[in-house]
Structure 1
Amino acid sequence: MLVLAVDTSTPTVTTGVAELTPGRAVDVRAERRVDTPRGHAEILTTLILECLAEAGVARSDLDAVVVGAGPGPFTGLRVGMATAAAFADALAIPLHGVCSLDAIRSDAHAGRVLVVTDARRREVYWALYGPDGRVAGPAVDTPADLIDRLRGEQDVDAILGSPEHTRLFGGHAVDGYAAPTTAGLVATARRALESGAAPEPVVPLYLRRPDAVELKDRKR
């Protein structure tokens, strides 16, 4: 099974082509990860086409699309989800959405893990994981409020996410997990992909209202 993966929930645009074979690890055939906080829309399609060419895969060879559904800032997240949906629709293949924080967690070792990413407005998106999966979140809070929420919880083994935020939560920050990878996105969707069942509708995890609103809505 050949899968196109897309995520724009963080300042890093991630896209890649991976092969999924039963009983084997996800084989990433090509990947692009570009840090561009304001340039998601300008480069995403180009990066996807580069990955397809590098992997030697035609668009018609793809079997499914996996997209990170956030949480993430409204505009950036919408770019990735709209592009992924357009590819899936044009090719008449399934579109699977996954929580982007789950995909970051998927790349790490098992154990008790906190994932935090930048939500702007001096807030973070976060989720907490145990050995068997997510136990809290996804949600959005200030770092101080999140520390209060987690007070009394068991200690975490690792804190993953954007480096400027992971270091706010103690001494277990692990570098190298600021954004989802192709392998993490596809691995998170693996059960759904292999089941062959029709995917659930993909719903973006904005977790709060967009920054930009029409003037009439702002007055109301």
Structure 2
Amino acid sequence: MLVLAFDTATAAITVALYEWTPGEGAVSRGAAEAVDRRRHTEVLTPSIARVMADAGAAPEDLSAIVAGVGPGPYTGLRVGLVTARAMGEALGVPVHGVCTLDVIAWASGRDEPFAVATDARRKEVYWARYASRGARIGEPSVGPPSEVLDGAPQGLPVVGEGAALYPEVFGESGHEPLLPTATALAELAIARLGGLKVPVLLPPEPLYLRRPDAKEPGPRKKVTRA
């Protein structure tokens, strides 16, 4: 079965195509990586088309689609999830979601406790702690960088772009991988589909950890004439 994976929850616009045979393993058929904070819409669809074409695959060959669900900024995150849901509906194939922090954790290959932090802007990070690359502890959170280490063991490693942005809190180095890759996303999803006890697959819905800035307007004020 062919599994298409992509993530737009961060500055990375990343796409991967894997061929998976249950019981026999998965093989990469192609991938595309770009980093652009402002052009998720323009980059994602051509990247998908290029990866599929290079692999000699048609959309109708897909068996499943996997998308990163964040947490991440609203605009970029929405691009990937809307694309995934639209493709899944058009092709009649299942669409799965994976927490983007879990993708970075999986790509780290770490087997000891650590944390993942990504850029949440406003001098905050999205973060989660892990017992190992495939075992998250608790739910993802958003807050100031210092919150990641509150109550944590001394010297806890922190990976991800959020860690690199705040060296005064997390140190100058050792934060790779900084961004998610669709290769790791596909491998993590396939591991779960294959029955491994890794973070669960989610519905393809955005994982927002903040209330939106925009608010519904309140009732109009009454105007009294003098």
- TM-score bracket, normalised by the shorter chain, equals 0.7 to 0.9
Larger Cα-atom Rg: 2
Question: CA RMSD for the aligned pairs?
Answer: 2.5
2:133 aligned with 1:134, yes or no?
A: no
Which of 197, 206, 209 aligns to 2:211? It is 209
Q: In 2, are the aligned partners of 1:18 and 1:28 still within 8 Å (CA)?
A: yes
Offset at residue 209 of structure 1 (A): 1.8
Q: In 1, are the aligned partners of 2:164 and 2:172 still within 8 Å (CA)?
A: no
Question: In percent, how many aligned pairs have the same letter?
Answer: 40
Offset at residue 21 of structure 1 (A): 3.1
Amino acid at match of 1:202: P
Residue in structure 2 matched with residue 111 of structure 1 by the alignment? 112
Q: In 1, are the aligned partners of 2:81 and 2:205 still within 8 Å (CA)?
A: no
Q: Greater share of helix residues, 1 or 2?
A: 1
SS in 1 for 2:108: coil
CA-to-aligned-CA distance 1:79-118 (integer Å, 9 cap, x gap) = 1100011111111000000000101111122211211100
SS in 2 for 1:37: coil
Offset at residue 202 of structure 1 (A): 2.4
Q: In 2, are the aligned partners of 1:65 and 1:95 still within 8 Å (CA)?
A: yes
Residue in structure 1 matched with residue 79 of structure 2 by the alignment? 79
Offset at residue 128 of structure 1 (A): 0.6
SS in 2 for 1:89: helix
Amino acid at match of 1:174: G
Cα distance in 2 for partners of 1:175, 1:13 equals: 20
Offset at residue 154 of structure 1 (A): 5.7
Cα distance in 1 for partners of 2:140, 2:112 equals: 18
Offset at residue 139 of structure 1 (A): 0.6
Q: Structure 1 residues 173 and 25, CA, compared in 2 at 3 Å: closer, same or farther?
A: farther
Q: In 1, are the aligned partners of 2:164 and 2:175 still within 8 Å (CA)?
A: no
Offset at residue 193 of structure 1 (A): 2.9
SS in 1 for 2:21: coil
CA-to-aligned-CA distance 1:150-183 (integer Å, 9 cap, x gap) = x343643x32111633634434843541222122
When structure 1 is superposed on structure 2, of 88-97 and 186-195 the one drifting more is 186-195
Q: TM-score, structure 2 length as denominator?
A: 0.83
Residue in structure 2 matched with residue 11 of structure 1 by the alignment? 11
Cα distance in 2 for partners of 1:128, 1:175 equals: 14
Q: In 2, are the aligned partners of 1:159 and 1:166 still within 8 Å (CA)?
A: no
Is there any run of 5+ residues in structure 1 with no aligned partner, and where?
A: none
